[in-house]
């Protein structure tokens, strides 16, 4: 069935055009649905877990992604040879390339994702802004692309601070913060160069910088029968160089009314481009809880597990069902968020040396287990971490009935996690889980870069110790009033009890 350039039909064999933990995640979902699976691999991934886990595996070239995972013709050739009727792109690589989605459709292969037109429209940030504005979606004040001279003049009019942003791509590439007029010409030139190198398109525009903003995103699912729903929100403010490090669901600052309003706006944005399958609308939320559209990610997000845990919806399986032409299995009224989930991205990098990437062979990998702990990974002892791909080697996700329980489980899981042979950012996450600012939700998108340091590890004072003691007692079924904070005889008037109440939401 073709719908606005989208091909949906029943299929029994799926090719996963990706690698690492996301390839394993998709393979597992496909196997549970009874689908045959096909993996692809480069030289560097010859012994990777996804190669062994799939029913079939095909070599597609040398280690560099531009010679293997990014070559559309090679992937389509494997699909033809193997008889795969559908391709799931995962995230990264070709996941948001409109030409790949269109090539699949032209070859009669189901692309597990939105149409090429939707990817093209929402992948161009300026075009996306114009499209959602027509649907009455609030956007951050900005200036359309133009010449360097036009952008400088416009920037002086809207004022500082502001951001220079590439219209194509993502991940912080082609983006420069500007705090004064004298910085703007150089920032525009640098952003153009980086965008051209990364995306082959040096077009940039200006956007007002939201100070003390939170990065909140809404997970969407839509089918080809006209149904679009949102699965709550994710808090993604803890990031460095615009790369997310820790995500959680729900968000500490989003109440039911704000969630409903953001969800309705996200659905309207998706419907404006006839969106089908999984997608995410990213918003900036200011300190007064005004929210603004940032961009749409037309793919599965890295951080999707936290949403799965609090809603009970298997997003990857739902993507596959939608691609087979089926209706969503759940309505908006049936979406219920229960509990709290936190995800830490475990990267092969050195947090004590400016987060420099770490390569080498993993000699030991001992994963944490126990109640409420999930690890999505694609590595094993003997696995070689190479410089060819992203440094993320796993995702550690912890679930609890409350935010406090999820945080405590994350602390325990991080302490259990053992990876040897390469350096990882596990110490960074342990540091963050000890931070009273994290525990009490006092952070924004600039927190990691401007107010957090591995060289200045916080010493937990009596108040933080009391908060954690109260959290632990809560898990044992005790009442908060039974815990006496150090130096305090009576907790009934504990002036920080409000912080605990927020923490245990």
Q: What's the rounded Cα separation, in Å, for the pair 328 and 333?
A: 13
For the record, the structure tokens of 89 come out as 């792109």
CA distance 95 to 97: 6
Task: Quote the pLDDT of residue 499.
Answer: 43
| Domain range summary for the chain, segments of one domain joined by + | 2-112, 141-208, 210-338, 340-457, 464-503
Radius of gyration of the CA atoms of the chain, in A: 23
Q: For position 172, what pLDDT does the model report?
A: 75
Which among 214, 234, 299, 324 is annotated as catalytic? Answer: 299
pLDDT at 184: 93
Pairing assessment for the beta strands 36-42 and 56-61 based on DSSP bridges: parallel
pLDDT of residue 173: 81
Cα(355)–Cα(428) distance, integer angstroms: 10
The segments of the chain whose pLDDT lies below 50 read 458-462, 475-505
Q: What is the pLDDT of residues 253-297, one digit of tens each?
A: 999 999 999 999 999 999 999 999 999 999 999 988 999 999 999
CATH architecture, range 141-208: 2-Layer Sandwich (3.30)
For residues 388 and 70, give the distance between their C-alpha atoms in angstroms, rounded to a whole number: 12
Determine the pLDDT at residue 306: 98
The DSSP secondary-structure symbol of 153 reads H
Give CA separation, 327 vs 228, 271, 458, 464, in Å: 10, 16, 50, 48
Q: Which residue has the tokens 């913060």?
A: 177
**CATH code for residues 2-112:** 3.40.50.20
CATH number of the domain at 340-457, please?
3.30.470.20
- Angle, alpha carbons 12-18-22 (nearest 5°): 90
At 472 the pLDDT is 52
Relative to beta strand 110-111, strand 142-143 is: unpaired
The predicted pLDDT at position 479 comes to: 40
Q: Do domains 210-338 and 340-457 have the same CATH topology?
A: yes
CA distance 320 to 30: 8
Cα–Cα distance between 258 and 264 in angstroms, integer? 10
| Predicted local distance difference test score (pLDDT) of residue 504 | 43
299 is catalytic: yes
Q: Which class in CATH covers the domain with range 210-338?
A: alpha beta
């Amino acid at each position: 069935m073709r719908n606005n350039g989208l091909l949906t039909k029943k299929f029994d064999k799926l090719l996963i055009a990706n690698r690492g933990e996301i390839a394993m995640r998709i393979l597992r979902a496909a196997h549970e649905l009874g689908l045959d699976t096909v993996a692809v691999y480069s030289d560097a991934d010859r012994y990777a877990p996804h190669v062994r886990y799939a029913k079939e595996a095909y070599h597609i070239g040398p280690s560099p992604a531009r010679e293997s995972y990014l070559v559309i013709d090679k992937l389509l050739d494997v699909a033809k040879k193997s008889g795969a009727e559908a391709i799931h792109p995962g995230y990264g690589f070709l996941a948001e390339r409109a030409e790949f989605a269109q090539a699949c459709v032209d070859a009669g292969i189901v692309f597990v994702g939105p149409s090429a037109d939707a990817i093209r429209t929402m992948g161009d940030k300026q075009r996306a802004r114009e499209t959602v504005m027509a649907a009455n979606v609030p956007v951050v004040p900005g200036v359309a692309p133009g010449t360097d001279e036009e952008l400088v003049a416009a920037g002086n009019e809207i004022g500082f601070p502001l951001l220079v942003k590439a219209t194509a791509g993502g991940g912080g590439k082609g983006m420069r913060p500007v705090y004064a007029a004298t910085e703007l010409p150089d920032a525009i030139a640098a952003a153009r160069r980086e965008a051209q190198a990364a995306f082959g398109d040096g077009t940039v525009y200006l956007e007002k910088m939201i100070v003390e903003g939170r990065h909140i995103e809404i997970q969407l699912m839509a089918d080809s029968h006209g149904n679009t729903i949102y699965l709550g929100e994710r808090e993604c403010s803890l990031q460095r160089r615009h790369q997310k490090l820790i995500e959680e669901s729900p968000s500490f600052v989003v109440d039911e009314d704000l969630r409903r309003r953001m969800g309705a706006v996200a659905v309207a944005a998706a419907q404006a481009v006839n969106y089908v399958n999984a997608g995410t609308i990213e918003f900036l939320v200011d300190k007064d809880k005004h929210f603004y559209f940032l961009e749409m990610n037309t793919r599965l997000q890295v951080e999707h597990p936290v949403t799965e845990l609090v809603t009970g919806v298997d997003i990857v399986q739902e993507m596959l069902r939608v691609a087979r032409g089926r209706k969503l299995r759940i309505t908006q009224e049936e979406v219920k968020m229960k509990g709290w989930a936190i995800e830490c991205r475990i990267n092969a990098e050195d947090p004590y040396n400016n987060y420099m990437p770490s390569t080498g062979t993993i000699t030991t990998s001992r994963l944490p287990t126990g109640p409420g702990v999930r690890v999505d990974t694609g590595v094993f002892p003997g696995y070689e971490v190479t410089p060819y791909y992203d440094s993320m080697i796993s995702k550690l996700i912890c679930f609890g009935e409350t935010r406090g329980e999820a945080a405590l489980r994350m602390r325990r899981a991080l302490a259990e996690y053992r990876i040897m042979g390469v350096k990882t950012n596990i110490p960074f996450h342990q540091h963050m889980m000890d931070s009273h600012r994290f525990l009490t939700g006092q952070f924004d998108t600039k927190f990691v870069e401007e107010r957090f340091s591995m060289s200045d590890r916080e010493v937990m004072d009596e108040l933080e110790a009391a908060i954690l003691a109260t959290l632990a007692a809560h898990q044992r079924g005790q009442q908060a009033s039974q815990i006496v904070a150090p130096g305090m005889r009576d907790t009934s008037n504990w002036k920080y009890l409000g912080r605990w109440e927020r923490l245990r939401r």
